[in-house]
Amino acid sequence: MRFKYFVFFIVLIFASRCALPLTTTAQSFELTSYKKRVTVPFKMVRNMIVVELMINGNGPFNFILDTGVGLMIISDPKLIDSIHVSHKRSVQLFGLGEGESFEAYVVSTLKVTLPDIESNGVGAVVFKEDHFGLSNYAGIHIHGLLGYEFFNNLAVEINFSTNVLNVWRPKDLRTRRRGNKIPITIENKKPYLETDLVLPDGTLKKSKVVVDIGAGHALSLENYEDHNNSFPKLTMANLGMGFTGPISGYISRIQKIELGKYKFRKVITAFPSINAFKRETFLTQRDGNLGLGILKRFTVTFNYHDRVMYLKPSQRFGEPFEHDMSGIEYFTGGDDFKHIIIHRIEPSSAGDLAGLQKDDEILSINLKPVSQMTLEEVDDIFKSRDNRTILLEIFRQKKHLNVFMVLKRRI
């Protein structure tokens, strides 16, 4: 099994000869119900918003809702056989990461439906090979990503307290009690906002960031080399996987970020290496990426039509920003996604000091079998408290081992 761990950044560029719309009609979704508001449940899986949808009458399929992608992506190549695509053509794709380009299909218009919502003229890119491995990361089958088309013709509220989407036609959205109004721009099918950042040395930096609900981090800044002297503590880190390879870089904390009237302090921030962008030519000049690590602390409403976003604080608003303290990157294996396999260990991290190795299988944590735990529960334990001692039962080369690991705050 080829594993690709969590995608921090999702950037897609067609080769110039293929930089054409997928269809000649408007690509969007619309309400089919007479109701003014439609409610769609979602699952929160490892900082990903997962919705169930049907394609050409088949499904349901699990798709990640992602404002950071400008078109629908089918990441599971096996799906193409079950949705009865009438036409497809090959394209060459480039993306964020340190590897080579790869091939995919552009498919003809699909009929995509959610409860009381259906697509209009929406096509998709289908990977010829699963370059994400999101199913192994999520612990459930993930079939693709749904982005701009879902938001461009609807007003969408994401309620992280109840795990539901409330969806209106923009004209029916009532703004009263929606929260703080934040102006956004829609550029190259992605939402952007301007924010004030205070760097560790006190420098105030006005920044333009893409609002990306498909990114699990709180904040990423893409030009850290312009101001790395402002960061006295940069910790080397593997930040995730792009379309074409791993993304390396650093993590640190900024003093403050302001979003409208709301302020967050000591925010963990990712700084991808410039090498990750060597194939990337951003169509929109920007400074970084605002992800779910911050956005999930609100009820968020997107209204692309009126170029605004509303933020209303939830009960998670005041939670501290913490990073993984184990240094372990792991994924799920097996048909039931119940096996947790270590894929990589950060040098000098808690996992490294405990003697853990690549391909070790974690059987239990503090005597509780991982088969009885969600991946979110495992994640929460591994970022719970500095100097906490964790007992792991490990299966390695047909042997069972008990390993004590002392969590270590890295930033």
CATH superfamily of 172-313: Acid Proteases (2.40.70.10)
Report yes or no: 29 and 112 within 8 Å, Cβ to Cβ.
Answer: yes
Burial 149-186 (b: 16+ CB within 10 A, else e): bbbbbbbbbbbbeeeebbbbeeeebeeeebbeebebeb
**Are residues 312 and 178 in contact, defined by beta-carbon separation less than 8 angstroms?**
yes
What is the model's pLDDT at position 398? Answer: 92
Sequence-ordered list of residues with C-beta below 8 angstroms from that of 239, at least 6 positions apart, any chain: 8, 217, 220, 247, 248, 249, 251, 270, 272
Q: Which of 131, 150, 121 lies closest to 63 in space, CA to CA? A: 150
Per-residue confidence in pLDDT tens, the chain, 411 aa: 333 333 334 444 343 334 344 444 468 999 998 889 999 999 999 989 999 999 999 999 999 999 988 889 999 988 888 887 766 777 766 554 455 567 888 887 899 999 999 999 999 989 888 877 889 888 999 999 999 999 999 999 999 999 999 999 999 999 888 899 999 999 999 999 999 999 877 888 899 999 999 988 899 887 655 555 666 566 666 666 555 455 667 888 889 999 999 999 999 988 876 554 444 445 568 888 999 999 999 999 999 999 999 999 999 999 999 889 999 989 998 888 989 999 989 889 999 999 999 999 999 999 999 999 989 899 999 999 999 999 999 999 999 999 999 999 888
Give me the pLDDT at residue 19, please: 39
CATH class of 328-406: mainly beta
- For the chain, give every residue range classified as CATH 2.30.42.10: 328-406
CA distance 215 to 218: 8
Answer whether 0.85 is exceeded by the pTM. yes
As annotated, the residues of the chain forming the CATH 2.40.70.10 domain(s) are: 12-170, 172-313
Domain 12-170, CATH class in plain words: mainly beta
CA 111 to chain centre: 25
Residue 197's beta-bridge partner residues?
205, 257
The two tokens of residue 178 are 């929606």
Block residue for tokens 């996604």:
337
User: 48, exposed or middle or buried, with CB in 10 Å at 0-12, 13-18, 19+?
Assistant: buried
- Backbone φ and ψ of 46, nearest 5°: 50, 55
Return the pLDDT at 239: 65
